[in-house]
């Protein structure tokens, strides 16, 4: 696939470049409009700066959240435009629509080196439509704004959406540096990972991670399972899990996976069990086999952290996706912190698989540079590891 460097080599001064970025940033639940983690915005800065400094007229597009194909003020990108301008050190023009009159006027008025951010792509039904014709029509409207297309939104490349899959079929297209780096890193942990290879999986549901577990199990030396998903595995071992998150329909599958893994799947040996899902709830650390009937597990315990850290310590490659507990609540953050800190100490290559794991690194104040790579795309990373074809990557390769 052609890259941003190829485009810059061709010259972009005075030309309009449409950049698909992933600006789907989280907001503070207590302070609407305040971005709680701007990591995704910072990740696309090198591409935007390179284009701006080369004299391009840069038109940025992104989605935010899951609006229902119509404008919704809860999901406006206006605060993101402000933050992006702060990060770039120069104002970012904001269009109040995506392909409407305001976007058209502001795109047409851009000067060399200026940056415009369009309103949320998902305010238009054409962005996510499963109807190829509807999606292509919306892509055509977006493509009218520019001479070239750059995709630097790795977090969206697993979606067959207009801005990801259909626009590059219309415009000369290039992969941004972030997309290139993400693919290179994932190839490293998928095709030829240096052994021992340890994968750490957390998050809520086994069903969400089943495909990646099946894909990775033949390749890994150890698969460490924490988070809400561990309780379905514990149930499969015959333990009661109280009021903990449980997928009953997945218990038999987990039992089969444990049998197939022959000891390579490692589960928590103790958990922090609370009376309710609250930072103020009464909590106690108990053996994983003795969770009280009236409590739910919200984190792995200290013995589990030590067990997991021991497995991680000897690894040459570590891939981590999913927190070990409800890290957003201080009493249940120690498991995620302990495992993350163990990953930072390995004498090898580590990858944080985006999503909540990347958010946890920043929320807990861990040193981002201590990890080999922090992905910007949780879902995209997992689908790549599953061996799926990613529509956005496929489109860039044509």
- What is the pLDDT, as a whole number, of residue 230? 97
Question: Can the peptide bond before residue 196 be classed as cis, meaning omega within 30 degrees of 0?
Answer: yes
Whether 337 has a binding-site annotation, put simply, is: no
**Average pLDDT in the 363-390 region?**
89
Whether 166 has a binding-site annotation, put simply, is: no
**Residue 226 catalytic?**
no
From 42, 188, 205, 214, active-site residue: 205
Q: Are 27 and 34 in contact (CB under 8 A)?
A: yes
Which residue did the predictor score with more confidence, 309 or 378? 309
Whether 90 has a binding-site annotation, put simply, is: no
Residue 34 reports pLDDT greater than 80: yes
- What is the pLDDT, as a whole number, of residue 111? 97
**Average pLDDT in the 104-131 region?**
98
Residue 87 reports pLDDT greater than 80: yes
Whether 209 has a binding-site annotation, put simply, is: yes
Whether 329 has a binding-site annotation, put simply, is: no
Whether 263 has a binding-site annotation, put simply, is: no
Please report which confidence band the pLDDT of residue 265 belongs to, taking 50, 70 and 90 as the band edges.
Answer: very high
Whether 40 has a binding-site annotation, put simply, is: yes
Strand ranges (E), 21-56: none
- What is the pLDDT, as a whole number, of residue 58? 98
Q: Is 89 helix (H, G, I), strand (E, B) or coil?
A: coil
- What is the pLDDT, as a whole number, of residue 315? 97
Residue 256 makes CB contacts below 8 A (sequence gap 6+) with none
Which range has the worst mean pLDDT, 88-97, 199-208, 337-346?
Answer: 199-208
Q: Are 237 and 263 in contact (CB under 8 A)?
A: no
Please report which confidence band the pLDDT of residue 329 belongs to, taking 50, 70 and 90 as the band edges.
Answer: very high
CATH class of 4-180: alpha beta
From 55, 100, 379, 388, active-site residue: 379
- What is the pLDDT, as a whole number, of residue 28? 84
Q: Is 128 helix (H, G, I), strand (E, B) or coil?
A: helix
**Residue 205 catalytic?**
yes
**Residue 40 catalytic?**
yes
The domains of the chain are located at 4-180, 193-386
- What is the pLDDT, as a whole number, of residue 341? 96
From 15, 16, 20, 40, active-site residue: 40
**Residue 353 catalytic?**
no
In order, the DSSP letters of 94-116 are: E-SSSSSHHHHHHHHHPPTT-EE
Whether 66 has a binding-site annotation, put simply, is: yes
Whether 242 has a binding-site annotation, put simply, is: no
**Average pLDDT in the 375-389 region?**
87
Which range has the worst mean pLDDT, 43-57, 115-129, 343-357?
Answer: 343-357
72, burial (CB in 10 Å: exposed 0-12, middle 13-18, buried 19+): middle
- What is the pLDDT, as a whole number, of residue 377? 82
Going by C-alpha positions, the residue among 296, 294, 288, 209 that lies closest to residue 245 is 296
- What is the pLDDT, as a whole number, of residue 192? 86
CATH class of 193-386: alpha beta
From 126, 355, 377, 378, active-site residue: 355
Query: Are both 4-180 and 193-386 of the same fold?
Result: yes
Distances, alpha carbon 25 to alpha carbons 65, 66, 224, 334, 369, in Å: 8, 12, 28, 24, 20
Convert the pLDDT of each residue in 274-320 to its tens digit: 999 999 999 999 999 999 999 999 999 999 999 999 999 999 999 99
Task: Please report how the helices 206-216 and 251-261 are oriented relative to each other, as an axis angle in degrees rounded to 10.
Answer: 20
Q: Are 325 and 300 in contact (CB under 8 A)?
A: yes
Q: Are 186 and 210 in contact (CB under 8 A)?
A: no
Rounded-to-integer distance, Cα 310 and Cα 315, Å: 9
Q: Is 223 helix (H, G, I), strand (E, B) or coil?
A: strand
């Amino acid at each position: 696939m052609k890259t941003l460097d190829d485009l810059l080599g061709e010259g972009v001064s005075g030309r309009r470049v449409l950049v698909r970025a992933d600006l789907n940033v989280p907001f503070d639940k207590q302070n609407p409009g305040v971005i709680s983690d701007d990591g995704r915005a910072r990740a696309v800065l090198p591409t935007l700066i390179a284009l701006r400094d080369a004299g391009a007229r840069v038109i940025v597009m992104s989605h935010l959240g899951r609006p229902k194909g119509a404008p919704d003020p809860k999901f406006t990108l206006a605060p993101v435009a402000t933050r992006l301008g702060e990060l770039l050190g120069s104002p970012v023009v904001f269009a109040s629509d995506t392909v409407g009159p305001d976007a058209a006027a502001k795109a047409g008025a851009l000067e060399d080196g200026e940056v415009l951010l369009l309103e949320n792509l998902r305010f238009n039904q054409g962005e996510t439509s499963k109807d190829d014709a509807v999606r292509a029509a919306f892509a055509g409207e977006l493509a009218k704004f520019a001479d070239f297309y750059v995709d630097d939104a790795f977090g969206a490349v697993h979606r067959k959406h207009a801005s990801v899959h259909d626009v590059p079929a219309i415009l000369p297209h290039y992969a941004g540096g972030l997309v290139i780096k993400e693919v290179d890193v994932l190839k490293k942990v998928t095709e030829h990972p240096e052994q021992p290879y340890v994968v750490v999986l957390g998050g809520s549901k086994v069903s969400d991670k089943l495909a990646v577990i099946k894909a990775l199990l033949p390749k890994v030396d150890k698969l460490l399972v924490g988070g809400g998903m561990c309780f379905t595995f514990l149930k499969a071992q015959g333990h009661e899990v109280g009021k903990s998150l449980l997928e009953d329909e997945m218990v038999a599958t987990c039992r089969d996976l444990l049998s197939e893994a022959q000891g390579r799947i490692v589960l928590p040996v103790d958990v922090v069990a609370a009376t309710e899902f609250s930072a103020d709830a009464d909590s106690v650390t108990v053996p994983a086999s003795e969770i009280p009937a009236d409590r739910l597990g919200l984190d792995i315990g200290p013995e589990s952290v030590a067990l997991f850290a021991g497995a991680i310590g000897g690894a040459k490659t570590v891939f981590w996706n999913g927190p070990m507990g409800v890290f957003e609540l201080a009493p249940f953050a120690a498991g995620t912190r302990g495992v993350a800190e163990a990953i930072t100490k390995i004498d090898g290559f580590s990858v944080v698989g985006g999503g909540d794991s990347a958010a946890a690194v920043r929320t807990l104040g861990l040193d981002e540079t201590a990890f080999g790579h922090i992905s910007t795309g949780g879902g995209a990373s997992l689908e790549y590891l599953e061996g799926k074809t990613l529509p956005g990557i496929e489109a860039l390769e044509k």
